[in-house]
Each structure stands twice: as C-alpha cells, then as structure tokens.
Amino acid sequence: MALTHLELAELLLDGSASAGAQESPHPDPLPRGEGDATRAEALGHLDFAIAEFQEMKMQPALERALRHKDVLKA
C-alpha cells in the first residue's frame, strides 16, 4: 500500500511537471498558487507512505518519499 501511495504521488507530480515543461527546462512541480488540490493530494499520499515506510524500516523508499516532500514544501 505504501509503495502504491508513493507511486500515486509521483504520478501527480510528473503530470504537473510535464504540463509546465514547455515553459521551462526545469519546471517547479506544482508552483505555489497553482494546483493546490493536486499538491494537497500528493502530500496526502506522501504522508501516508512516509509513515508506513518508517514503521516498516524501508529506508530507500522512505528517502525517495522524503525527497519528493521536500520538493513540494520548497
């Protein structure tokens, strides 16, 4: 389940990044003020996945999820 939530969050992030890819070679995924619902949904999936990965001690997946969360909060 945790891996599925992580992948859902990545799909949401990839979808929003590819939508802005024409504007910039390094688009900011989910810029502030745009895609707030998508940002919130991605964060929800990441929060669930992070808690599960910590409990199961799945360090590589946990680190991947935390990197995505850091990007969203930046």
Residue 5 has pLDDT above 80, yes or no: yes
- Residue-level pLDDT at 33: 55
Name the more confident of 63 and 28: 63
Helix axes 36-56, 2-19, angle to 10 degrees: 150
Q: Which pair of structure tokens corresponds to residue 13?
A: 């992030």
- Residue-level pLDDT at 16: 66
- Residue-level pLDDT at 29: 52
Q: What is the dihedral of CA 45, 67, 14, 73, to 10 degrees?
A: 70
Domain ranges of the chain: 2-21+30-73
The C-alpha R_g of the chain, in whole angstroms, comes to: 12
User: How do residues 14-52 score in pLDDT, each as one tens digit?
Assistant: 876 655 544 434 344 545 555 788 989 999 999 999 999
Predicted structure pTM score: 0.75
* Contact yes or no for 63/56 (Cβ under 8 A): no
